[in-house]
Chains A and B, each alone.
Chain A
């Protein structure tokens, strides 16, 4: 194996089995494809729940609106960064792209807890009620993560764990954005902690499992 002449033999052999390949579309277009699936789910939820409840909540409590915008932007930027890291030679600094939107999402959600009025059409969740939020985020994150992993396996993520964490962040943020459409609880410490737990769980599971699934064979 270590004879340099073997390199030319291998090159010759690889040349022998060369076939034309379809080039991978640019990362932004691949991210847009995944976001279209998220948008289709959002459309289905809007069709079921209607936009009025969400818009009323957002009009009465701008912090919830900012948190929602932050979650949507986090999903977009994390997916874009994950697809970019799937291409060899791209800077790992792309991983920082979702930082600002994530801070907006977390910051606005945290600010909501300091408010002394309750958002219209919502209640403050009791200690066990936010479990539904946890289930919602996990239930949507699993297929959205699986879809991202499947799409990224066609690429070549040279930093599989970092890419898998971005996949987790994108899926969790997208699921939290979808939850906004039918969220019946106002921002409160218990609700915020449940959301944070769900996001951390999704990122952790992705880092542990997705990293392995993305390992180059």
Chain B
């Protein structure tokens, strides 16, 4: 893929005008490279399904541009693309057993990323509508100036604590150790007896659940 991109840059406009068939040849090369990359990722994912950590980390890292491209195609704003990437990675981890190595890996992950992108768009759409209503309510309130900042903070904190209390034990523990007590991963791992990887995954999942819970309730 890199070779073809370099070739594209070197050709420039003159090259394209001089040799009109070069563009077709270039796109054939690019398609062939993409196919090759797809097969490479398929092999990595097959190895990951068997428990090969190195292949798994490679295939996930190699998938990031594919996920971003799928999110962009669905119209996800640039600020939210990284959220879609994270959600897609977590989904891939959960459903990695559904991948069939005889089929395209790129099609598989692109479908998952597109779905997560649509979910993100819907979730942000709902949030935006709620925020709009909140502003209207504030406009209509005559005494909203009475609501002090402290009260608002206190309410938000109470809501956050209530949401944390509903998390599964592993996720709650990760939030308490890493976010509330601000312990380092090593300290938290030592304190809880869990490994750092599990703590990080639990924290990611907890943050996702809290975001959904708090925006869902508000």
Contact = CB atoms under 8 A, between A and B. Distances in A.
A40 interface: no
* A-side interface size class: 35 or more
Given A14-B56, A20-B50, A8 B61 contact: yes
Given A23-B49, A155-B98, A156-B98, A16 B198 contact: yes
A23 B97 contact: yes
B186 to A, nearest CB: 14
A21 to B, nearest CB: 4
B79 interface: yes
Nearest to B195: A16
Contacts of A12: 57, 197, 200
Interface string A121-150: 000000000000000000000000000000
B89 interface: yes
A3 B207 CA distance: 15
Contact of B111 (A2, A88, A154): A88
Nearest to A13: B200
A13 B95 CA distance: 16
B111 A14 contact: no
B201 interface: yes
A9 to B, nearest CB: 6
Interface in A81-118: 86-90
Interface in A195-217: 216-217
A58 B79 CA distance: 64
Contact of B98 (A1, A10, A18, A87): A87
Nearest to B89: A10
A90 B53 CA distance: 27
B95 A156 contact: yes
Interface string B84-123: 0110011101111111100110011111100100000000
B83 interface: yes
Interface of B: 48-51, 53, 56-57, 60-61, 64, 79-80, 82-83, 85-86, 89-91, 93-100, 103-104, 107-112, 115, 195-198, 200-201, 204, 207
Given A7-B64, A156-B94, 19 more contacts: A1-B86, A3-B82, A7-B82, A12-B197, A13-B196, A14-B56, A14-B89, A14-B90, A14-B201, A15-B53, A15-B57, A19-B51, A22-B97, A88-B98, A88-B99, A88-B109, A89-B108, A89-B109, A217-B94
